[in-house]
Amino acid sequence: MTLIKSISGIRGTIGGTTGDNLTPIDAVKFAAAYGAWLKNDRTKETYRVVVGRDARISGSMIQELVMNTLVGMGIHVIDLGLSTTPTVEVAVPMEHADGGIILTASHNPKQWNALKLLNSKGEFLNGVEGEKILRYAENEDFTFAEVDDLGKITVNDAYIDLHIDEVLDLELVDVDAIKAAKFKVVVDGVNSTGGIAIPRLLDRLGVIPVELYCEPNGHFPHNPEPLKEHLGDICALVVKEKADFGIVVDPDVDRLAFIDETGEMFGEEYTLVACADYVLSETKGNTVSNLSSSRALRDITRKHGGTYHASAVGEVNVVQLMKDTNAVIGGEGNGGIIYPASHYGRDSLVGTALFLTHLAKGNKTVSELKASYPPYFMSKQKIQLTPELDVDGLLETMATTYAHEDISTIDGVKIDFEHHWVHLRKSNTEPIIRIYTEAGTQEEATRVADAMIQEIKKVAGL
């Protein structure tokens, strides 16, 4: 199961056979399906799509296939080249484009790549739109343009700088306060496009960047998911450099994690908590995160007089609930900051600028800031799926077993106990069941997760 088709796009491993992996034929088919959807969704004379990619090794190949497929559909392409997911999202409305495609498999290892699909607002497609594209692809329901009607490719490599301009213009980003603080920050760009964008942002903010793995060559020096077990090098370098903190992003720069000045993880979950704490102190309002995110955001939101809401997992679900509740900030506990004053997409550049402002104004170290927040600890585990496993039936059984607790079934099964919670769900991006738990200590979170895994295996006969 190495080709995963979902409403948000298509993701798979490079090489292998068509339909089982992300081969050139699959890339062309899904790019054509997206083009067909675009042209059927909006009747116009001309169509424009923004395309950018992270630095993974297969990126250039996949991008050329995708762009020239769109050209073959009679669609004009704005080629951002090496870019970030939030930069492409920002570029779509700035270009008055009809949509966007980002070539990135986010935190997946180097053998993976994906087509992430955007609408004319620069936001991920909803379920109805995604299903239409899947049908177009399955039925090969697309017509290519005749020779006089082919699209054209225009290269524009200015958008990372334009994105940074947009971030610096945000009302709650205090450039002067950040410059006055004279921060020194280590950046781990995992040899992808974060190594271009984040140091450039820091430089504009008067922050001294110390670059680690910032060469955008696609050779990830460690597992690209920004979790503690993968980040020993930056933790050591923050201490060695006597830096104020460290910044870690994933390959497409929509997940953001911090390392404190002692070389300890600030915690991906607390990226959103800290940014929300600052935004809510300046702008009263509500917040949203997904069901797998920390209770700490709820606590901070209530402290500032707002209301917290939880959505199903997935950026499109978080964004919709943010719009429905007029949330002033939201995101996901994996370090994804969504700040509507900028745009409705997870954005590590926005998150970095808000965090730096919060630090500069608060006059605290990063470890002191973390200590000021409610202490919660998470365990994030997974069980590999087998083709014969009835996952939906398994989740129904777990919901029935714990029906006497506070249960949510809008996305898998979330069981809220008094002092901890458990969330069980099928992954949208990998053939696994995710088991997330949170409790007041790491030991308790791990114990709860281990016990739940054993219970699931027993029920499933694994």
Instruction: Tell me the one-letter amino acid at 249.
Output: V
Phi, psi of 16 (to 5 degrees): 85, -150
Question: Reading across the β-sheet that carries 99-103, which strands appear in turn?
Answer: 3-6, 9-13, 112-118, 99-103, 48-53, 76-82, 153-155
How many domains does the chain fold into? Answer: 3
E strands, 231-358, where? 245-249, 256-259, 286-290, 308-311, 327-332, 336-338
Query: Do 55 and 149 belong to one domain?
Result: yes
Q: Which of residues 106, 129, 156 is at a domain's end?
A: 156
346 and 407 share one domain = no
Of 386 and 420, the structure prediction assigns the larger pLDDT to: 420
Distance CA 202, CA 195 (A): 11
DSSP of 176-236, one letter per residue? Answer: HHHHHHT-EEEEE-TTSTHHHHHHHHHHHTT-EEEEES---SS--SS-SS--GGG-HHHHH
Annotated catalytic sites, by residue?
Answer: 106
Give residue 9's pLDDT band: very low, low, confident or very high (50, 70, 90): confident
298-337 pLDDT per residue, tens: 999 999 999 999 999 889 999 999 999 999 999 998 899 9
- What's the CA gap between 177 and 205, in Å, rounded? 9
Instruction: Looking at the structure, tell me whether residues 145 and 166 fall in a common domain.
Output: no
pLDDT tens digits along 259-285: 999 999 998 999 999 999 999 999 999
Q: How many helices (H) and strands (E) does the chain have?
A: 15, 20
Q: What's the token pair of residue 48?
A: 């424009």
CATH (domain of 353):
3.40.120.10
The reported pLDDT for the residue numbered 462 is 74
Say yes or no to pLDDT of 1 above 60.
no
Per-residue model confidence (pLDDT) at position 429: 66
Q: Mean pLDDT throughout 220-245?
A: 95
Token couple for 263: 């070389």
Same-domain status, 269 and 309: yes
330 lies in the same domain as 420: no
Q: Do 270 and 192 fall into the same domain?
A: yes
In this structure, the answer to whether residues 349 and 388 fall within a common structural domain is no
Distance of alpha carbon 25 from alpha carbon 81, whole angstroms: 21
Percent of the chain exceeding pLDDT 90 equals 87
Is the pLDDT assigned to residue 243 strictly greater than 90?
yes
Tell me which of 323, 340, 372 is where a domain ends: 372
Residue 22 near residue 13 (C-beta atoms within 8 A): yes
Residue where one domain finishes, among candidates 372, 402, 424: 372
Residue 353: band (very low, low, confident or very high) from pLDDT cuts 50, 70, 90: very high
* Banded model confidence at residue 223, pLDDT cuts 50, 70, 90: very high
- Residues 92-110, mean pLDDT to the nearest whole number: 96
pLDDT for position 187: 98
The answer on 289 and 252 residing in a single domain is: yes
Full residue range of the structural domain in which residue 124 is found: 4-156
Same domain, yes or no: 306 and 433: no
Indicate if 171 and 314 belong to the same structural domain. Answer: yes
Q: What would the mean pLDDT of 86-107 be, rounded to a whole number?
A: 97
Q: How far, in Å, are 48, 76, 81 from residue 73 at the CA level?
A: 11, 9, 20
